[in-house]
Amino acid sequence: MKNTNDNQKQLDRFPHQPDANKDYPHHTPQNTLPFADKIGNYQRNIGRPTNVYKDSKVYIIGAGIAGLSSAYYFIRDGKIPAENITFLEQLDISGGSMDGSGNAKDGYLIRGGREMEFTYENFWDVFQDIPAVEMPEPYSVLDEYRLINDDDPNYSIARLLHNQGEIQDFSGFELKKSDQLAIIRLLLKRKEALDDVRVNEYFSDSFFESNFWIFWSTMFAFEKWHSLLELKLYMHRFLHDLDGLHNMSMLVFPKYNQYDGFIVPLRNYLIEKGVTFQYNTSVTDLDIEFEQADNSASVADSAHEPTKMVKAILAEVEGTPTTIAITENDYVVVTTGTMTEDSRYGDNHTAPNLDTVLGNQGQSTGWTLWNTLANKSAVFGHPEKFNGNVAESSWMSATLTCKPSALIDILKTLSVNDPYSGKTATGGIITFTDSNWIMSFTCNRQPHFPDQPDDTLVLWVYSLLMDKEGNYVKKPMPECTGNEILAELCYHLGIIDQLDHVVENTLVRSAYMPYITSQFMARAHGDRPEIVPQGCTNLGLVGQFVETKNDVVFTIESSVRTARVAVYSLLNVKKQVPDIDPSQYDIRHLLRAANTLNDGKGFIGENLLRKLLKDTYYEHILPPAHLDSQEESKRNDFIFSEYWESIKGLWHK
């Protein structure tokens, strides 16, 4: 038997999740660990667990990417036998929100997609060990992914459209100097100062009228009322990608949809290892034993947090109540919340049925367990901050299964390559800037599904502001049938006169998701629980609704990160999970970002830097000089003086 108090002390002692935002990177005689955000193969060492866990059972609640990654790390680094791991999944399929289903006859369905880039270090830490989808051994999913993207660069030639199909200039951000300074000021702010602050409470109206905002909001699904803190974290996390934001040249995509590309191979790997998957199982509660605080504790022990140990899992298996006993040697990992809970569906002729969404918000099955845990203790967070305002957390998507039509004809003119070629097509979403719904659509590499017929393309459409009337269809998007969504799309593409032909050759499956951006809702410290909440000895929380040091939400990387932290912390594996990629501290990326925010026309202090670095080893770190850079630099220097008072206050406002 392990001593839970001693184990908790061990967990507190080893820095499984170092924080680069708090640490000064330096060497000391006693420190043997890498810097907090040191990325690389040194982190691939095999850790040494403090105990032998061959008799421990692991129950993972939720078989999305966070849960699947948890199982992977329990096996690889925790050395727990795979046959000791059981998934308890509410649905009848793995994958959670990373879904992909259907067929060419009935129509394919993808509720959402996630952009990816090079620095998903934890995600690739898993998938460099998972056998490739199509390539033979010894190739991995990572190998296959790299080969596809190295050979076929991603970018867009039509990122923005307006005036019914006309390509709009998308070459620059068009940010005013005051808005550029506001971004810099935000980057300098401490995270603790941004609790419960919304984006539109900080930025001016001109910021929301810029190309930068339309790029940002449509690519990442940010709304004006979302968390300013999360926006800040995104800016740090993807600082190195800013100069590819306008044409999406920083993105990389899999060959197929993300369910077939990632979930299927990882699930199959775990099954082959011996992991058990139990579907149609809804976990409603955890029986947690709370250690009573010792009032006689000495001052030295006053910081001791009473332990919390899971003793049983309460579940319903296909409607039948079931209790699973948990010992102190067993572990439970829970995915808190779900972005795609209570999704509602439509097709060509029907709109999604939303009758009970508002009356049931935050109370449907996927939220039950987190709600219940939060009622037991404040250490489990406040789910109502995320699931209690459907009006601000929902949007709608539609998947189009397309035979040749006028829609495909116009698509070819907006794509980098012929969509039937198997190469990059639109290179990411194309957004209609004059759409009331802020409608976007994309065509990824085809086929998007392994069984997709040669003459069929799969497109994806979504809208950010779906509660407004469409420009052509005078209804909010959730009230629209699939054919009406097609009509709105064809109107904005300038082919409304060929709508009948498009409808005849296009299957539409729509999805209304009431919580799809719930993880972005304005929040304060404590609203999201820690990955291993204070005092918990055998319980970890993973997914999009838990606290990390500096990572963002709404990425598959952050889901995997939480899984890795949970396993290392629970088992006290002597390994660290590196902080996010350190590009935010790299002077090269900082200079490039500053230049990019000003549309490549230079940045404040550029003249001085060019003089200092001319003909030196470090000259190459400066962005290429703009044609008008000298004149622009003079203007920038003037602006520097003009804004000196506000610049002086960057650190304090």
Q: Check whether 368 has a pLDDT greater than 50.
A: yes
Q: Which domains does the chain have, with CATH numbers?
A: 1-133+256-342+349-388+524-599 (3.50.50.60), 134-162+395-513 (3.30.9.80), 171-244 (no CATH), 601-652 (no CATH)
Q: How confident is the model at residue 603 (pLDDT cuts 50, 70, 90)?
A: confident
Residue with the bigger pLDDT between 215 and 8: it is 215
Average pLDDT over residues 349-374: 95
Question: What's the pLDDT score for residue 304?
Answer: 63
Average pLDDT taken over every residue of the chain = 92
Average pLDDT over residues 345-356: 97
Q: Check whether 296 has a pLDDT greater than 80.
A: no
Question: What's the pLDDT score for residue 30?
Answer: 83
How far apart CA 56 and CA 402 sit, in angstroms, is 50
Residue 533: is the preceding peptide bond cis (ω within 30°)?
no
Question: What's the pLDDT score for residue 630?
Answer: 56
Q: Active-site residue 234, yes or no?
A: yes
Q: Check whether 651 has a pLDDT greater than 60.
A: no
Q: Check whether 646 has a pLDDT greater than 70.
A: no
Beta bridge partners of 441: 430, 461
CA dihedral 242, 243, 246, 249 (to 10 degrees): -100
Q: Check whether 45 has a pLDDT greater than 80.
A: yes
Q: Active-site residue 316, yes or no?
A: no
Q: Which of 45-54, 342-351, 465-474 has the lowest mean pLDDT?
A: 45-54
Percent of the chain with pLDDT over 70: 92
Average pLDDT over residues 253-274: 97
Question: What's the pLDDT score for residue 648?
Answer: 56
Q: How confident is the model at residue 443 (pLDDT cuts 50, 70, 90)?
A: very high
Going by C-alpha positions, the residue among 116, 113, 123, 120 that lies closest to residue 149 is: 116
Question: What's the pLDDT score for residue 10?
Answer: 45
Rounded alpha-carbon distances, angstroms, from residue 312 to 80, 282, 286, 372: 20, 14, 6, 14
How far apart CA 443 and CA 411 sit, in angstroms, is 8
Angle at 377 between CA 373 and CA 380, to 5 degrees: 55
Catalytic residue among 53, 234, 259, 515: 234
Q: How confident is the model at residue 93 (pLDDT cuts 50, 70, 90)?
A: very high
The predicted-structure confidence for 546-588, as pLDDT tens digits, reads as follows: 999 999 999 999 999 999 999 999 999 999 999 999 999 999 9
Beta bridge partners of 458: 401
Q: Which of 5-19, 151-165, 493-507 has the lowest mean pLDDT?
A: 5-19
Q: Check whether 299 has a pLDDT greater than 50.
A: no
The predicted-structure confidence for 20-35, as pLDDT tens digits, reads as follows: 999 889 999 988 899 9
3-state helix, strand, coil in the chain (%, to 5): 35, 15, 50
Question: What's the pLDDT score for residue 166?
Answer: 98
Average pLDDT over residues 434-444: 98
Q: Which of 15-29, 121-135, 258-272, 451-465 has the lowest mean pLDDT?
A: 15-29
Question: What's the pLDDT score for residue 569?
Answer: 96
Question: What's the pLDDT score for residue 302?
Answer: 42
Q: Check whether 5 has a pLDDT greater than 50.
A: no
How many other β-carbons are positioned within 10 Å of the β-carbon of residue 42?
A: 9
Q: How confident is the model at residue 639 (pLDDT cuts 50, 70, 90)?
A: low
Question: What's the pLDDT score for residue 4?
Answer: 47
How far apart CA 281 and CA 368 sit, in angstroms, is 13
Q: Check whether 213 has a pLDDT greater than 80.
A: yes
Average pLDDT over residues 604-614: 89
Average pLDDT over residues 75-98: 96
Percent of the chain with pLDDT over 90: 85
Sign of CA dihedral 83, 51, 563, 290: positive
Q: Check whether 334 has a pLDDT greater than 70.
A: yes
Q: Check whether 508 has a pLDDT greater than 50.
A: yes
Q: Check whether 237 has a pLDDT greater than 80.
A: yes
Q: Check whether 650 has a pLDDT greater than 70.
A: no
Q: Does this model's pTM top 0.95? A: no
Rounded alpha-carbon distances, angstroms, from residue 85 to 70, 74, 385: 10, 9, 32
Question: What's the pLDDT score for residue 633?
Answer: 57
Token couple for 418: 């012929």
Average pLDDT over residues 315-336: 96
Residue 254: is the preceding peptide bond cis (ω within 30°)?
no
Question: What's the pLDDT score for residue 43?
Answer: 87
Average pLDDT over residues 239-248: 97
Catalytic residue among 89, 115, 144, 606: 115
Token couple for 584: 């935010």
